């Protein structure tokens, strides 16, 4: 269908729908190619276009291009509003908060979350509400308001039963565990991570696994064997995931990853790095 301009609308719907596969499996390069091609070939349908723009915005954010991510996600919001898709608008606002937070615009990130919460509550959309709550928690944590971040993360976890999406609970648990780590409650954080990782490992959800491995490595300085023991998963499984993380980041050791994260966060936000217990 990539060679058939007359079927561009169908290609756009398929490409937008496949995001739910590409994202968890980490196939971002393939996703970007298909989404860009589909968008160039078809201007409609608007709902599929909004989803494709949002997916490309997330890819840009993951790749570190927050300015482009903001532009794409803003375009998704406008597209969703034009076709009256409140769910799509709310999702775009929550993802926009991520891009703004990573660019250092923490107030903008909080504003996007508040707008997403307003949309979610007006539309009775539990999924967007839960997503906005944990994203808001991230923004709060980056400002140093760990108590506020914990409340938002816990609220996000509480919304899960209304959504039926187990991943949403897991993401909320990640934020809560991060807050507990910053407070020095490492043992409690590991208990929460163990529950979340059991689910993400089964999917597998590579981005959540990447986040958890990074969190454990930064917080505790553990070996792969020790991480596996704490999470009750095989050392070989940890080796595989850590190896993929290092390859994606162009690093050869976890110390390089920690230095990369510390340097980026200090430059963007003026926040302390891992050595000062300022874990992301």
Question: Contact at 8 Å (CB) between 90 and 76?
Answer: no
Question: Contact at 8 Å (CB) between 29 and 52?
Answer: no
**pTM of model > 0.85:** no
DSSP 6: G
Question: Contact at 8 Å (CB) between 199 and 166?
Answer: yes
Residue-level pLDDT at 157: 93
Question: At residue 201, does pLDDT exceed 70?
Answer: yes
- 3 vs 256 pLDDT, higher one: 256
CA atoms in the 13 A half-sphere facing the CB of 12: 22
The whole-chain average pLDDT of the chain stands at: 75
Residue among 86, 37, 82, 77 at smallest CA distance from 57: 77
Question: Contact at 8 Å (CB) between 92 and 50?
Answer: yes
At 182, the pLDDT band (50, 70, 90 cuts) reads confident
How far is 161 from 163, CA to CA, in rounded Å? 6
Cα distances from 96 to residues 54, 73, 122, in angstroms, run 9, 6, 19
Question: At residue 219, does pLDDT exceed 60?
Answer: no
The set of residues, in sequence order, having a beta carbon less than 8 Å from that of 150 and lying 6+ positions away, is 137, 176, 179, 180
Residue 2 φ/ψ, nearest 5 degrees: -70, -20
């Amino acid at each position: 269908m990539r060679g058939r301009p007359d079927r561009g609308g169908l290609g756009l719907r398929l490409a937008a729908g496949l995001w739910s596969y590409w994202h968890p499996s980490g196939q971002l390069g393939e996703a970007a190619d298909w989404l860009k091609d589909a968008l160039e070939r078809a201007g409609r349908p608007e709902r599929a276009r909004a989803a494709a723009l949002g997916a490309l915005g997330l890819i840009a954010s993951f790749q570190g291009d927050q300015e482009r991510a903001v532009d794409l996600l803003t375009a998704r919001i406008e597209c969703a509003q034009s076709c009256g898709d409140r769910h799509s608008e709310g999702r775009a606002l929550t993802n926009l908060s991520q891009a703004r937070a990573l660019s250092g615009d923490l107030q903008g990130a909080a504003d996007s979350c508040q707008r997403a919460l307003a949309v979610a509550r007006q539309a009775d959309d539990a999924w967007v509400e839960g997503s906005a709550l944990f994203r808001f928690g991230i923004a709060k944590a980056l400002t140093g308001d760990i108590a506020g971040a914990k409340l938002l993360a816990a609220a996000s976890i509480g919304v899960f039963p209304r959504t039926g999406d187990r991943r949403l609970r897991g993401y909320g648990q990640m934020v809560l565990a991060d807050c507990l780590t910053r407070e020095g409650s490492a043992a409690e954080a590991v208990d929460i991570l163990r529950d979340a990782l059991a689910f993400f490992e089964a999917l597998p959800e590579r981005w959540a696994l990447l986040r958890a491995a990074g969190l454990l490595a930064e917080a505790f300085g553990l070996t792969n064997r020790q991480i596996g023991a704490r999470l009750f998963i095989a050392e070989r499984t940890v080796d595989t995931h850590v190896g993929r993380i290092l390859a994606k980041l162009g690093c050869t050791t976890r110390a390089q990853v920690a230095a990369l994260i510390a340097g980026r966060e200090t430059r963007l936000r003026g926040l302390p790095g891992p050595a000062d217990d300022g874990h992301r």
